Amino acid sequence: MEIIKDLPEVFEEFAEQRKNSFLAVKQLKDKGVPVVGAYCTYFPQEIAMAMGAATVGLCSTSDETIAEAEKELPKNLCPLIKSSYGFAKTDKCPFFYFSDVVVGETTCDGKKKMYEYMAEFKDVFLMELPNTQSEEALKLWKSEVIRFKEYLEKKFDVTITEEDIRGAVKTNNEVRNSLKRLYEVMKHDPAPIQGQDLFKVLYGSTFKFDRKAIPAEVTALVEKIEKEYAEGKMLEKKPRILVSGCPVGGATEKVVRAIEDNGGVVVTYENCNGAKSIDKLVDEENPDIYDALARRYLNIGCSVMTPNPNRLELLGRLIDEYQVDGVVEMTLQACHTYNVESLSIRRFVNEKKGIPYINVETDYSQADIGQLNTRIAAFIEML
């Protein structure tokens, strides 16, 4: 008989998933499974999966190793870049340590220069990401996807067939669909669960190496949430917040806590580890699988793209579908693309959607928690 766990227990399991995977990644290595590490949502995961590799997001969300990184990198650099480099340099990230190759991408200037230094002590494969989403850019990005496949074939002495890639695409599309169904439970008003618990599952699921197992687990969770909601188990009615901006996770979860500790509920995340990475599927009907992959990944609406209409399209859709009362944009200090783009996000939210917007600029320290609470409490009170 299957033991049905309580929701809080399930959420905690997902929250612990990253730590549990530290041991799992070593076991995979012991079995000879290749491990491919990456930092970014633009990483075409299906190519590595098609080879039978385990893929993992590398440590980059804590201030633990920033002091170490600052011995070599400028202090006025984005904390995500410093954290990534610090964990790599100090070997304090088991995922980095066990990765056979790290896949980088030319998203922003800071990252691409940092990858140059990282390549001095680790195999780094750098993908040339265009900074625009034109048809010309698509040609370049498709050629990069193919170049990545050829690199893996040569490095690991394997053949990656189109059939293998299509199998990985199918698996990942199923994962995306299940996670989409999960975050869609937040369309209910009042919300069924806390945004912090939703985030635990979205973030935790990225550290599960058995991608095929995710849909069943997440679907069971969705059914449980819906069943309890139908029985009247829900949060009290609160202002509904959309979180946008730089990647959330680790240290920056303080922003989500500040929202929910001060009377709001985060009903949707537009960030990389939220809707942005799950919203679009790879077109399985496209006869050219490399074109299908290139299109799906290039269309992600990140602030590194100029212009960036896809971010506004997704943002507008989420605001409508989730009946959002206010938008909190979290930007990291010295993240130039997101900080510059915050003006157009503010205009869009205030003028086009007619709802309040606040930008909070932060880093990975805990020094600004009091200030965050004060500002966000005032914002939520205004709603």
Enumerate the β-bridge partners of residue 353.
Answer: none
Contact 380, 263 (CB under 8 A): yes
At 4 the pLDDT is 55
With a cut of 90, say whether residue 46 has pLDDT above it.
yes
At 1 the pLDDT is 39
Question: pLDDT tens digits for 119-136?
Answer: 999 999 999 999 999 999
Q: Which two tokens stand for residue 107?
A: 């998203």
In terms of phi and psi (left: phi > 0; alpha: psi -120 to 50; beta: otherwise), the region of 160 is beta
> Of 52, 127, 380, 74, nearest to 240 (Cα)?
380
Q: Which residues of 67-103 are buried (b: 16+ CB within 10 A; e: fewer)?
A: ebbeeebeeebbbbbbbbbbbbbeeebbbbbbbbbbb
Please compute the mean of the pLDDT values over residues 4-32 and round it to a whole number: 92
Please compute the mean of the pLDDT values over residues 174-202 and round it to a whole number: 97
Contact 179, 205 (CB under 8 A): yes
At 261 the pLDDT is 98
DSSP 282: P
Domains, the chain, in order of start with CATH, read 7-160 (3.40.50.11890), 163-382 (3.40.50.11900)
Q: Exposed (0-12), middle (13-18) or buried (19+): which is 335, by Cβ within 10 Å?
A: buried
Please compute the mean of the pLDDT values over residues 229-248 and round it to a whole number: 97
Q: Which two tokens stand for residue 126?
A: 């750098």
At 112 the pLDDT is 96
- Helix/strand/coil for 175: helix
Question: What residue spans of 322-362 are helical by DSSP H?
Answer: 336-347
What are the DSSP calls for 193-260, one per residue? Answer: S-HHHHHHHHHHGGG-S-GGGHHHHHHHHHHHHHHHHHTT--PPP--EEEEEESPP-GGGHHHHHHHH
Q: Quick one: what percent of the chain has pLDDT higher than 90?
A: 98
Window from 6-20, 284-298, 328-342 with minimum mean pLDDT: 6-20
Please compute the mean of the pLDDT values over residues 162-184 and round it to a whole number: 98
Question: pLDDT tens digits for 47-73?
Answer: 999 999 999 999 999 999 999 999 999
CA distance 309 to 134: 12
End-to-end CA distance of the chain: 47
Interacting residues of 248 by C-beta distance below 8 A, sequence separation 6+: 199, 203, 255, 256, 269, 271, 273, 274, 330
Q: Which two tokens stand for residue 309?
A: 């209409």
**Residue 379: CB atoms within 10 Å:** 22
Prior bond to 190 cis, omega within 30? yes
With both helix axes pointing from N to C terminus, report the angle between 162-183 and 195-204 in degrees, rounded to the nearest 10: 170
With a cut of 60, say whether residue 306 has pLDDT above it.
yes
- Helix/strand/coil for 137: helix
Q: pTM (2 decimals)?
A: 0.97
Secondary structure element (H or E) that encloses residue 101, with its range: strand 101-105
At 5 the pLDDT is 76
CA distances from 191 to 187, 195, 236, 266, 382 (A): 7, 9, 8, 9, 20
Q: Which two tokens stand for residue 34?
A: 């290749």
pLDDT confidence band for 39 (50 / 70 / 90)? very high
CA angle 197-199-205, nearest 5°?
105
With a cut of 90, say whether residue 2 has pLDDT above it.
no
Q: Quick one: what percent of the chain has pLDDT higher than 70?
A: 99
Question: pLDDT tens digits for 324-367?
Answer: 999 999 999 999 999 999 999 999 999 999 999 999 999 999 99
